[in-house]
Amino acid sequence: MSFSEATFDRVFAIAGWAPSAHNTQPWLPQVSSLSGSSATLTVRVDPERTLPVTDPHAMDLGLSLGCWVEAANIALGATGARIEDVRVLGEGHGIWLELEVAEVGAGAHETDSGASFEPAEVLDRQVDRGKLVPRTDRLEEALAQFAKTNFAYTSGPIASAQIPEATWSASSRYAQAAALSPREALDETLEWLRLDDTDPRYYQDGLTAETLRIPRAVARTGARLVRAGSDTLLNAVSRTGVWSTMLPTFTSRKAPDRVVLALHRDHASQVSAEDWVQAGRDLLRLWLILARHELRVAVESQLKDTPLSAAMLCDVLRRTDPHGSFVPFAVFSVGESTSEVPKSHRLVE
Ligand SMILES: Cc1cc2nc3c(=O)[nH]c(=O)nc-3n(C[C@H](O)[C@H](O)[C@H](O)COP(=O)(O)O)c2cc1C
C-alpha cells in the first residue's frame, strides 16, 4: 500500500472527533509530504481556538492535541500504518506538531502498548454530563488495565487516585467560585458556550446547551444574558444561583466515582509541551478503555486549574506515594450513563 491524500482525508475525519477542552478543536492538520509508504503531517494550532486566560500554560491545549494525535494513530492503524514519531515545536499557545507516519503492515493497530482500538471506538466515545451511576469494580479493572498496557507515551508513570466524595465536594466548591473570576476567564468560557441553537456555530464546536444538560428554557434565558454581557450575567447568576445548574455537582448518595490523573513533577513549569501532548495520548486511551467497560466520564478541569482544589487533589495522591510531588492534569467523574447522551458537534461533520 502507498499513502494517498484520500487516506489522510479519512484519518482527519476520524481524528476530528477527538475530545478537546471546551470542544475548541484547536488542530489544523495537513499533509506536508507524501512518499510511497511514509508521510509527514503538520498539525498547526488555530490561534482563535486557544484558551489563553483559562489555560495559561497551554496544558489543556497540549492534552487536546495529544488526544487528536492518538485518535489519528488509531485511524491510521486501521489502514496498516502508524505514527512513528511526534515532534513538538514552538512553545506556549504557538506550538505545532510534525508527525512521521509509516506503513507497518497488517496488525499495525496492535501497538506496543497493548490495547488495540478501532476507529469506531473513537467515534462512539462521549463525555456524559448527565447522571452517572458508579460502577467501581469496572473502573478499577479499567484503571488496572490502563496501568498495565498503557503509559505508552508519557515519560514516567502516570499517578492516579480515586477521590473521596468529601474531598470532591469541598474542592468543587472552591473551583466553582473561581470559575466566575477573573472576569476575563468568565468571558473566555462564555465564548465557547453554545446556548442558542439558531446560531450555526451550535452545530460546529463549543459546549452546547444539550450536552451541558441545560433545559431549553434556561438555555434561551442564558443566551439572552450572555448577549447582554458578563456583567448582566454575573448579576443574574448571583441572584438565581444558575451557575450550579451549568456546572452540576453530584451530591446524591449514589455519586459517581471520581478520578484524578497526575504527572510526577514538583511543578507544572517542569512539564514540557511534549509531555502534555504525550499525556493527552494516554488520556484518550484511558477514556477509550473506560468506554470498553461501558463507563463514561464527566471532566471537571477547574478542579486541577484552581490552586486550592489542586492542592487538595495532591493530598489524595500522596496517599499513594507519601513523598511524591504531583501535577494533576485530568479530573473527572466516572460511571455508567443513565440516559442517551447527546452528541457534541464537530467541524468535520
Ligand atoms: C484537556 C481537556 C479538558 C477538558 N475539560 C473539561 C471541563 O473542564 N469540563 C467539561 O465539561 N468538559 C471538559 N472536557 C471535555 C470536552 O468538553 C469534550 O471532550 C468536548 O466537549 C467534546 O465532547 P465529547 O467528548 O462528548 O465528544 C475536556 C476535554 C479535554 C480533552
Question: What is the model's pLDDT at position 151?
Answer: 57
Q: Which amino acid is at 275?
A: D
Q: Give the burial class of 263: count Cβ atoms within 10 A of its Cβ; 0-12 exposed, 13-18 middle, 19 or more buried.
A: buried
Question: What is the model's pLDDT at position 239?
Answer: 66
What's the pLDDT tens digit per position in 51-104?
A: 999 999 999 999 999 999 999 999 999 999 999 999 999 999 999 999 999 998
Give the whole-angstrom CA distance, residue 328 versus residue 308: 12
Of ligand 1's listed atoms, the one at least distance from the Cα of 284 is: 31
- Check if 19 has its Cβ closer than 6 Å to any atom of ligand 1: yes
Best mutation site among 22, 124, 207, 210 for ligand 1, i.e. most ligand atoms within 8 A of its Cβ? Answer: 22
What's the pLDDT tens digit per position in 223-270?
A: 888 888 777 777 776 666 555 444 544 444 589 999 999 999 999 888
Q: Is the pLDDT of residue 50 over 50?
A: yes
Of 222 and 210, the structure prediction assigns the larger pLDDT to 210
Ligand 1 centroid – CA 301 distance (Å): 8
Q: Is the pLDDT of residue 311 over 70?
A: yes
**Residue nearest atom 12 of ligand 1, based on CA coordinates:** 299
Strand, coil or helix: 256: coil
pTM of the model: 0.94
Neighbours of 215 (CB within 10 A): 10
Find the mean pLDDT for residues 335-343: 96
